[in-house]
Chains A and B, each alone.
Chain A
């Protein structure tokens, strides 16, 4: 797991989520991982919920180039311009923020600033942020263009690695989900299966 690198920059922002563009192609933080940006008030935390790589120019389509090459790396060696024409973006759901020493597991008063740098979080930060699982309620209720339960499960699995007793963390998260999804046992069961 990363220990807090600057990996991307915010290119779209709203109160509940933002989109960030990676500085390096294909180097998106993992699905479900915790990232942060900083503004004058403090840190804003979010969970990566989708990543995609595409042409920077919407009218220029990416074409296959490797039929006669041995490896995928050779494609980039033969076409160095590709790294400048393609971009990996990822979307982040805002799940909390910090002001001074206080940590809040709900949305900050203002969205992240455009062009804010996006950093991966260190193990210590992940551990601190996920000591409380209040942010799960934000995730459970959100509507995403992809399967939100995949993101929730990935987030919990990812966070568990930051805790010394990861099994205990998974059990605690399972209980929190059971509470949040008490009226939807089918969804709960399917989610719990993904925590293994």
Chain B
């Protein structure tokens, strides 16, 4: 019935034979039933949460104080505006530029003896208004030198290889670097929004217990330095930096509600609720995401209040680049937009970001068109990957170097039966 029978063995690829869909059907039906029940419970929680949110609006200072004094095991948003604020999208300026970057990479392949990785950054530069124009560019860079593929501790010479998750972080740094460098090159006469994909918060560096010298090189002297460069540019031109998170999973604002319903005078999860997992008083709003709240609260085009991130990495390292954020309701979804403090404090820049992101999503059928095009420039397909390694092997072989490609890799390439 699902086309995975024996008659397909000769004609179809191996991929289609690996998953027994027929035996999964029953489980998928169960999943649907379970989701339906969960959805009903969630809707009730959401009504409750919205009522709390609206009731909190009057008590701004007290709530702020409570947040500052709290010790929670979850991340709570800092308040900068009334929590239930709704702001309609202003209109875009007559002329403006959206500059967006996105990246992809080919990781170090341990089955290859050529130790290198590739980062490809795509850039879309779209000018709107009286002189519409577009530039779509990509910047592929191969990293292979000793000092490029590892981060070395200045103290004891310890070497941390850049690969896997750390390579993802390195890529984010490069996305920001290229964005800043392109911004410098643009004529300063038009408002400019420099747009990144994903979070400004380096979650990848949290929880991995990376050494301080790794964080320093990638975050402090890398990413934040590039943001500083753009902050510097913003003195001479209207320039805002923002990052766009589609389908955000964050709960910073829901956690403000947890805090509000917490019955203890001083909120201290470890002291008051140790071991009461899933049975805490604040669990009445558990399981909700910020985007669920704002999908109900906001009308299309509206943005929420601006909040600040109180995540430890931001508090410790970001300084003037403190990450603030708001949610924006679009036609298809609620997205999270993160902006550095210096953008959040400039009303005109916030309006610029709000207006242009709303417009970009309308033009891009739900996703900022500039980010979409930057992604198209950056994307590295499976075929690209194969060709890349093939080219590496060929060039090295032409140079008389014989590569020890591992047996596993050879076996993957020759797909015999």
A196 at the interface (CB under 8 A from B): no
Q: Which residues in A have their C-beta under 8 angstroms from that of B133?
A: 80
Among A61-75, those with CB < 8 Å from B are none
Q: Which residues in A have their C-beta under 8 angstroms from that of B124?
A: 81
Number of contact residues on A: which range applies?
Answer: 10 to 19
| Cα distance A60–B379 in the bound complex, in angstroms | 14
Most buried by A among B128, B132, B133, B376: B132
| Cα distance A81–B126 in the bound complex, in angstroms | 7
Chain A-chain B contacts (Cβ-Cβ < 8 Å), number: 29
B151 at the interface (CB under 8 A from A): no
| Cα distance A80–B373 in the bound complex, in angstroms | 11
A84, B132: Cβ atoms under 8 Å?
no
Cβ 8 A contact of A76, one of B132, B135, B136, B363:
B132
How does the 8 Å CB contact mask read for B171-194 relative to A, with 1 for contact and 0 for none? 000000000000000000000000
Q: Which residues in A have their C-beta under 8 angstroms from that of B126?
A: 80-81
| Cα distance A79–B373 in the bound complex, in angstroms | 11
B376, A83: Cβ atoms under 8 Å?
no
Q: Please, which residue of chain A has its CB at the minimum distance from the CB of B369?
A: A81
| Cα distance A96–B128 in the bound complex, in angstroms | 45
A80, B128: Cβ atoms under 8 Å?
yes
Cβ 8 A contact of A79, one of B135, B136, B369, B376:
B369
Q: Which residues in B have their C-beta under 8 angstroms from that of A82?
A: 134
Q: Which residues in B have their C-beta under 8 angstroms from that of A83?
A: 134
A80, B376: Cβ atoms under 8 Å?
no
A84, B363: Cβ atoms under 8 Å?
no
B138 at the interface (CB under 8 A from A): no
| Cα distance A81–B377 in the bound complex, in angstroms | 12
Output the least CB separation between A79 and chain B (Å).
Answer: 6
A184 at the interface (CB under 8 A from B): no
| Cα distance A9–B361 in the bound complex, in angstroms | 35
Could you give 22 example pairs across A and B, Cβ below 8 Å?
A: A57-B376, A76-B132, A77-B128, A78-B128, A78-B363, A79-B363, A80-B126, A80-B127, A80-B128, A80-B132, A80-B134, A81-B124, A81-B126, A81-B134, A81-B136, A81-B369, A81-B373, A82-B134, A84-B135, A84-B136, A85-B136, A85-B373
Output the least CB separation between B331 and chain A (Å).
Answer: 13
| Cα distance A155–B373 in the bound complex, in angstroms | 40
Q: Which residues in A have their C-beta under 8 angstroms from that of B370?
A: 81
How does the 8 Å CB contact mask read for B130-143 relative to A, with 1 for contact and 0 for none? 00111110000000
| Cα distance A103–B128 in the bound complex, in angstroms | 49
Output the least CB separation between B394 and chain A (Å).
Answer: 22
